[in-house]
Amino acid sequence: MRDESELPANLDEDPEVERALTGLGRFSPRQGFEDRVVGFVRVPLPRWLRGLRDYVRSLTSGVTGWALLATFSVATAAAWVTGAAAAVRYWDPISVGARIVARSAVSGFREALSEYVFPAIRMGWGEATMWLAGLGLEPGTVLIGYGVVVLICLVALRWLTAAPARTRGVVDATQ
């Protein structure tokens, strides 16, 4: 290429070309461009948090890191061994206590079922049967009716949730 570095750039100005170029405007992207971009950007952590992270990293690297890791491992092992030794040493009182807690939990659950839940179900069922009988309906027939309605709802739900995907496909194809 011929070296034209010394050429003044405006020597060849043509007023009409210059006017046309000066009249060139800018275009805008579609609305929401800013949000779309920022949605994909990984905003860095604030400086103080990065400082803290770097400090922790510096602690856990090199000789200090190995020393910390070794201390942590020994401490964890000591805690497990101490816990296991205590469990063996005090096994009887621990097992008795655990059994008491488990029994009381099970009996409490049973009591709640027999005193509140089952009577409430029985009472509700009795009331509903009486109400249905007053309307001249059999409870069994009503249950079957409910089953049919639930089935219809499930089929409709399945159809409705599948429909938008098909619609999107059509829109994309025409764009």
Partner 1 sequence: MSGGWDLSVASDQQIVAWAQEGEESAFRELVRRYQRPVFSLIYRMVRDREIAEDLSQETFIKVLNAIDRYRPEHKFSSWIFKIANNAAIDHLRRREPDTLSLEGAPDAVTIERQEATALQARDRTESPLDELEARELGSNIEAAIARLRPEYRTCILLRHVEGRAYDEIAAILGLPLGTVKTYIHRARAELRELLEPLRD
- Residue pair 128/139 in contact (Cβ under 8 Å)? The answer is yes
Q: C-beta of 24: minimal distance to partner 1 in Å?
A: 5
Concatenate the DSSP letters of all residues of 62-102 into one string: HHHHHHHHHHHHHHHHHHHHHHHHHHHHTHHHHHHHHHHHH
Asked whether 53 and 45 are in contact (CB, 8 A), the reply is: yes
> CB 167 → partner 1: shortest distance, Å?
19
CB of 23 to partner 1, least distance (A): 7
Using CB under 8 A, list all residues that contact partner 1.
Answer: 1-7, 9, 11-14, 16-17, 20-30, 33-34, 36-38, 40-47, 49-50, 175
Query: Could you tell me the smallest distance in angstroms from the CB atom of residue 168 to partner 1?
Result: 17
* Calpha distance 2→6 (Å, rounded): 11
CB closer to partner 1 out of 22 and 167:
22
3-state helix, strand, coil in the chain (%, to 5): 80, 0, 20
